[in-house]
Amino acid sequence: MGNIDGLTLMQREDPSFAEHYLRWESIRQTSASHQVAICGLMNAGKSALLNMLTGHLEQEYFATGASRTTADVQSMTTENIDWLDTPGIDASDSDDHTALRGILRADSVLFAHTLRTGTLEQVELDFLDTLMRHIPALPQRLIVVLTHADSVETHQQESIDSITRILSTRFAEQLPLFVTSSPRFIKGTLTNKPRLVQRSGIPQLLAAITTRVSRANASLVSGRALEKVHLDIMLKGAITEALAQREEKLSALMLQHKEEEKAFRKAAKQLLNALRQRIPDENKSDI
C-alpha cells in the first residue's frame, strides 16, 4: 500500500467522510466576508456576469471567452463580499471537483444558465443534485440567473417557464430567479440609458445579493462556527468507527490465521506419521 496517509485512506474508503471533510476544509479556509460563488456550464456567461456585478464593464477582471477560460477558482473582494468564479461544470472531472470546492466555500450560490440553450440540460440538473447532497441548505443559498437574454427573443418565455417548472420539482420552495443581459447593462451604463440598464436585470440581481449579504452577515461567523463543530463531531465519529471496524477485521483475520495454522499443523503431523509408517514396510519388502 506504500506510504499512504490516514486521511487519504479515509477519503478513499468512506465517501461520506470525504464529502464531510471537503465541507469542513472549505469552512476552515473561508474568510470573514460573505462569499458569493457562481457556477454553471462552460460559456454560460458566468465570468461576464461577475464583471458586471463588480463594476468591471470596460476592463474585465474575470476572464471571458468562447473557450475554457476558468480552470481554477478565481476571486476578488468588493467591500464585504468575496466573489468566486468557478470552472464550467462538465468540462472535465477535475474542473467539476474544483468548482465544487469553490461552491462549498460559498454563503450564496449563483447558478447561471444561458437561455441560448433553451431549458436546463441533464448535466446541470445532475450537478444541482450533487450540490444538494453536499449542501442540505442549498435552497436558502441558491439564486438562479438566466443569462444572454439579449440573444434570445423567440420562445424566451417558454424556456423561462420550463426552467421554473423543472426547478419546482426539485426544490420545495421557489428559488429567486433573474433574467439578465450583460451587453444591455454595458450599453445602458456607458450611454446613460437607465431604462436599458434596468432591462438588463443586473441591478435587480445585485440588489437581491446585497440584501442577502446584509441580512446574513450578523449570523455568518457564528453559523460557520456551529457547522464546523457539527462537522468536527461527524468526522471524529467516522474515524473512530473506521478504527473499530479495522480492529474487528484484524481480530477476525488473526483468529482465522490461528485456526488455519492449527489445521495445517494437524494435517502435517498426520502426513508425517503416515510416511513414517510406510517407510519400514517398504524397507521390509526390499529384503
Q: How many Å apart are CA 212 and CA 109, to the nearest integer?
A: 11
Pairing of β 74-78 and β 81-85: antiparallel
Residue 286 lies in a domain: no
Q: Report how many domains make up the chain.
A: 1
Q: Is the pLDDT of residue 1 over 50?
A: no
Give the highest mean pLDDT range of 15-29, 186-200, 233-247. 186-200
Residue 212 lies in a domain: yes
pLDDT of residue 274: 82
Encode pLDDT of 65-112 as tens digits: 654 555 567 888 887 788 988 888 876 666 667 777 778 778 889 999
Strands (DSSP E) along 7-54, which ranges? 34-40
Residue 70 lies in a domain: yes
Other CB atoms within a 10 A radius of the CB of residue 162 amount to: 14
pLDDT of residue 18: 66
Residue 198 lies in a domain: yes
pLDDT of residue 67: 47
Q: How many Å apart are CA 5 and CA 162, to the nearest integer?
A: 48
Q: Say which residue, 262 or 235, is predicted with more confidence.
A: 262
Q: How many Å apart are CA 79 and CA 7, to the nearest integer?
A: 37
pLDDT of residue 120: 94
Pull the grid cell for residue 273: 506419521
Q: How many Å apart are CA 178 and CA 111, to the nearest integer?
A: 10
Residue 153 lies in a domain: yes
Q: Which of 35-44, 108-117, 131-140, 204-213 has the lowest mean pLDDT?
A: 131-140
Phi, psi of 5, deg, nearest 5? -85, 165
At 60, the amino acid letter reads E
Residue 244 lies in a domain: no
Encode pLDDT of 217-235 as tens digits: 555 555 565 566 666 666 7
Residue reference for cell 503431523: 269
Q: Is the pLDDT of residue 135 over 90?
A: no
Q: How many Å apart are CA 172 and CA 167, to the nearest integer?
A: 9
Residue 42 lies in a domain: yes
**Maximum Cα–Cα distance for the chain, whole Å?**
124
At 179, the amino acid letter reads V
Residue reference for cell 460557520: 224
147: burial class by Cβ within 10 Å (0-12, 13-18, 19+)?
Answer: buried
Q: Is the pLDDT of residue 276 over 90?
A: no
pLDDT of residue 121: 93
Residue 263 lies in a domain: no
Q: How many Å apart are CA 73 and CA 101, to the nearest integer?
A: 8
Q: Say which residue, 179 or 232, is predicted with more confidence.
A: 179
Q: What is the mean pLDDT of residues 142-157?
A: 91
pLDDT tier for residue 160 given thresholds of 50, 70 and 90: very high
Average pLDDT, the chain: 81
Are 123 and 41 a contacting pair, CB within 8 Å?
A: yes
Q: Say which residue, 175 or 95, is predicted with more confidence.
A: 175
Q: What is the mean pLDDT of residues 140-168?
A: 92
pLDDT of residue 287: 47
> ∠208-33-89 over CA atoms, to 5°?
70
Q: What is the mean pLDDT of residues 22-39?
A: 70
At 98, the amino acid letter reads T
Q: pTM for the whole thing?
A: 0.65
Q: Give the structural domain span for 206.
A: 8-219
Phi, psi of 91, deg, nearest 5? -80, -40
Q: What is the mean pLDDT of residues 209-223?
A: 70
Give the domain CATH number at 185.
3.40.50.300
Q: Which of 191-195, 197-201, 241-245 has the lowest mean pLDDT?
A: 241-245
Q: How many Å apart are CA 265 and CA 267, to the nearest integer?
A: 5
- Residues shown for the chain: 287
Q: How many Å apart are CA 206 and CA 197, to the nearest integer?
A: 12
